[in-house]
Amino acid sequence: NAGVTQTPKFQVLKTGQSMTLQCAQDMNHEYMSWYRQDPGMGLRLIHYSVGAGITDQGEVPNGYNVSRSTTEDFPLRLLSAAPSQTSVYFCASSYSAGQPQHFGDGTRLSIL
Amino acid sequence: AQSVAQPEDQVNVAEGNPLTVKCTYSVSGNPYLFWYVQYPNRGLQFLLKYITGDNLVKGSYGFEAEFNKSQTSFHLKKPSALVSDSALYFCAVRARVSGNTGKLIFGQGTTLQVKP
């Protein structure tokens, strides 16, 4: 039981490049979400999903896309990377809205 | 709109003393409330939650939290701090809405420093 797995752990991009951050969970959780963590700002919700085929925007969705074709996977796409998207990104999952979320160890993304 | 405030960026306590990390929230209706802890270069780990019932919630590693509806607060407490409790602590709130929806919103985080 691996929990929530995020890949890659580190990534450096140039401005304008695109990439996909991967997130997979093996706990059959319906609820998955993506956060970014920046110093002094806590975790801010980017997008979330309440099940396969259903996604919704969080607090800071601009510049990011998501899809949820399976229960297990919830990739986050940066369409055209900008320096303001330099951050640590966390994926999380839970069985339902009222249950605690399980977090991955994060992807540290630097955009030059 | 939902919001969470953790008014202290850092809390310093001596080992063996009681600790409190403060959290206040704003949400429509009754909330789900959570505390998480983050160690360096790791994801967040769940400590405890309030769903309903007893206002004093007990969680992992000897932590507890008190839900106060009138003050809209959910302060994290521990009777006797350990050096190993030093970490970054996050409070989070989710509104109770129909279905399995509802956004989990986090506070800014409070760094707890426990000194020997």
| Residues in A touching B8 (Cβ below 8 Å) | none
% of chain B residues with pLDDT over 70: 95
For A68-90, what is the mean pLDDT? Answer: 96
Contact, B46 vs A101, CB < 8 A?
yes
Instruction: Give the model's pLDDT for residue B8.
Output: 96
Contact A105 B46 (CB under 8 A): no
Q: Residue A30: which of B27, B91, B2, B99 has the closest Cα?
A: B99
Instruction: Give the model's pLDDT for residue A6.
Output: 97
Asked if A40 reaches chain B (Cβ–Cβ under 8 Å), the answer is yes
Residue B10 has pLDDT above 60, yes or no: yes
Instruction: Give the model's pLDDT for residue B28.
Output: 81
Instruction: Give the model's pLDDT for residue A41.
Output: 83
Instruction: Give the model's pLDDT for residue B98.
Output: 61
- The Cα–Cα gap between A5 and B15 comes to 35
Asked if A55 reaches chain B (Cβ–Cβ under 8 Å), the answer is no
Read off the pLDDT of residues A2-36 as tens digits, 9 standing for 90 and up. Answer: 799 999 999 999 999 999 999 999 999 999 999 99
| Residues in A touching B96 (Cβ below 8 Å) | 98
For B25-30, what is the mean pLDDT? Answer: 85
Residue B97 has pLDDT above 80, yes or no: no
